[in-house]
């Protein structure tokens, strides 16, 4: 049955418009965005009407970089005693979490992470998935056992997922094997490609709810011959490719030691930088590398809430945007799941560094709120190869709505509403979230919220040795 969604305002790409209804077909695809008036508010033959008074509707947001299992270490690593002074010592605490949980427990954790994303207005996630093996490092009978559990979690919560299957080979150049990485390793490109193609086959009936991408973890974790082979395969299959690049200065130093050049220069030389490539983080860049990124069409997957938590550094977003580089957002370690907080941080970090305001305003000819919201939507969709990110005929009806009466945006008119949302929205204002025109969240609560929280809390109590 056709559904007519009637919010007070609809975000149509660069502004809010009133008096519009979204016409959604049985298959969840938007048929049209039409004018309507209160005089037409009676029953419509063959249609269900969803009146959303006091609401503004926006396209669902995209999270391009998630490690769902890292939700379990939130709050437990915020001291030097527990996680040391830097990224590399924090990583050891993260490895302990990666080696702790069974596939079924990782499903429970992913449900919690993805539900929290839905509550934040996220309707599509890119899961950078590298926990492949059993806790002793041996393969499961189905090498994609955990990947399928994570995908099942996304399906049960109701959001779309790009499972970005990670290639992980080694601890680094001239480094001994690290026992903390034993669940990640697939030692040959043949094994990785066989398992990745098997996962793609298993998802063939999923349509636009779940699909795969290829994710060489990093230059330090994947040697160049392996990297060439798997990225060539991904390119031939038109799959998105994501990779951690230049998150820490030590990565650049190690790449220089092994290859005599920096990670971005190496990827550019190898022809790996292109429109379907997303460089996650991409913080420590030279001017020449920024120019190369602009020429290539590659995307930067920025994760400011994690990058500030780990002390990674500040993304040179102004220089990247001037070079024509698109930026998308990810929540990464899930320290905080809030794409709009990522948007604020992208801008505010530059304000603190440059002692100026509105640094990214009109950098590429677009007003600041519109540009930052595009990073949360259309740029994320491009990064994941998702048919999402806009409200338009022919697109899936993936959206979130905000409540005008929430204190964080109360009093904002249509002209300043997007700026109020980007720079001031509290998550309490997110009222409804839908995927394919079907509500996941209503009245600020997810339809499975009580059960998901109960199961996750019980799991974490068991892990802590606390029993009911």
Which residues are marked as active site? 281, 332
Q: How far is CA 374 from CA 128, 164, 243, 377, 391, in A?
A: 22, 22, 21, 5, 12
Distance in angstroms (rounded) separating the CA atoms of residues 79 and 82? 5
DSSP string for 49-112 = EEEEEEEEEEEPEEEEEE-GGGGGGTTTS-SHHHH-SSHHHHHHHHHHHHTT--HHHHHHHHHH
How many other C-beta atoms lie within 10 A of the C-beta of residue 454? 10
Q: Is 39 exposed, middle or buried (0-12, 13-18, 19+ CB in 10 A)?
A: exposed
What's the full length of the chain, in residues? 468
Alpha helices in 297-448 (DSSP H): 304-310, 317-322, 339-354, 368-376, 378-384, 414-424
Residue 56, CB half-sphere, CA atoms under 13 Å: how many? 25
Residues contacting residue 33 through CB under 8 Å, at least 6 positions apart: 10, 12, 20, 21, 22, 23, 391, 392, 393
Measured over the CA atoms of residue 57, residue 59, residue 65 and residue 70, the dihedral's sign is positive
**Side-chain-side CA neighbours of residue 147 (13 Å):** 32
Q: Which residues partner with 332 through β-bridges?
A: 66
Number of H-type helices and E-type strands within the chain: 16, 17
CB 55 within 8 A of CB 8: yes
- Provide the terminal-to-terminal Cα distance of the chain, rounded to the nearest Å: 46
């Amino acid at each position: 049955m056709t559904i007519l969604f009637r919010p007070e305002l609809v975000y149509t790409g660069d502004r809010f418009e009133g008096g519009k209804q979204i016409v959604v077909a049985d298959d969840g695809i938007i048929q049209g965005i039409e004018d309507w008036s209160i005089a037409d508010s009676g029953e419509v033959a063959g249609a269900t009407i969803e009146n959303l008074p006091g609401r503004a509707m926006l396209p669902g947001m995209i999270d391009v970089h998630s490690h769902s299992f890292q939700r379990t270490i939130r709050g437990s690593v915020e001291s030097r005693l527990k996680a040391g002074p830097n990224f590399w010592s924090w990583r050891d605490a993260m490895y302990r979490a990666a080696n702790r949980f069974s596939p079924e427990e990782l499903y429970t954790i992913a449900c919690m992470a993805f539900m929290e994303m839905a509550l934040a207005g996220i309707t599509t996630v890119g899961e950078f998935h590298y926990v492949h093996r059993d806790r002793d490092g041996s393969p499961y009978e189905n090498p994609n056992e955990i990947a399928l559990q994570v995908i099942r979690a996304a399906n049960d919560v109701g959001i779309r997922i790009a499972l970005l299957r990670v290639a992980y080979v080694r601890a680094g150049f001239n480094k001994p094997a690290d026992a903390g990485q034993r669940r990640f390793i697939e030692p040959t490109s043949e094994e990785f490609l066989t398992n990745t193609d098997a996962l793609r086959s298993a998802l063939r009936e999923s349509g636009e709810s779940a699909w795969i991408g290829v994710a060489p973890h990093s230059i330090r974790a994947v040697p160049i011959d392996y990297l060439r082979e798997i990225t060539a395969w991904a390119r031939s299959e038109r799959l998105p490719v994501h990779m951690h690049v230049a998150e820490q200065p030590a990565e650049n130093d190690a790449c220089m030691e092994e290859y005599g050049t920096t990670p971005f220069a190496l990827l550019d030389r190898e022809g790996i930088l292109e429109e379907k490539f997303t460089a996650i983080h991409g913080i420590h860049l030279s001017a020449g590398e920024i120019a190369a990124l602009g020429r290539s069409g590659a995307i930067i997957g920025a994760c400011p809430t994690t990058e500030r938590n780990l002390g990674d550094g500040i993304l040179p977003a102004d220089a990247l945007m001037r070079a024509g580089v698109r930026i998308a957002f990810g929540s990464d370690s899930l320290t905080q799941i809030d794409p709009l907080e990522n948007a604020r941080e992208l801008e505010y970090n530059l304000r603190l560094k440059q002692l100026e305001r509105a640094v990214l305003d009109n950098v590429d000819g677009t007003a600041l709120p519109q540009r930052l919201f595009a990073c949360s939507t259309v740029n994320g969709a491009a990064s994941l190869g998702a048919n999402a990110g806009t409200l338009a005929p022919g697109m899936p009806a993936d959206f979130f709505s905000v409540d005008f009466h929430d204190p964080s945006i109360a009093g904002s008119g249509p002209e300043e509403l997007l700026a109020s949302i980007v720079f001031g929205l509290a998550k309490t204002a997110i009222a409804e979230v839908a995927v394919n025109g079907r509500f996941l969240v209503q009245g600020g609560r997810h339809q499975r919220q009580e059960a998901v929280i109960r199961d996750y809390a019980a799991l974490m109590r068991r892990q802590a040795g606390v029993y009911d």
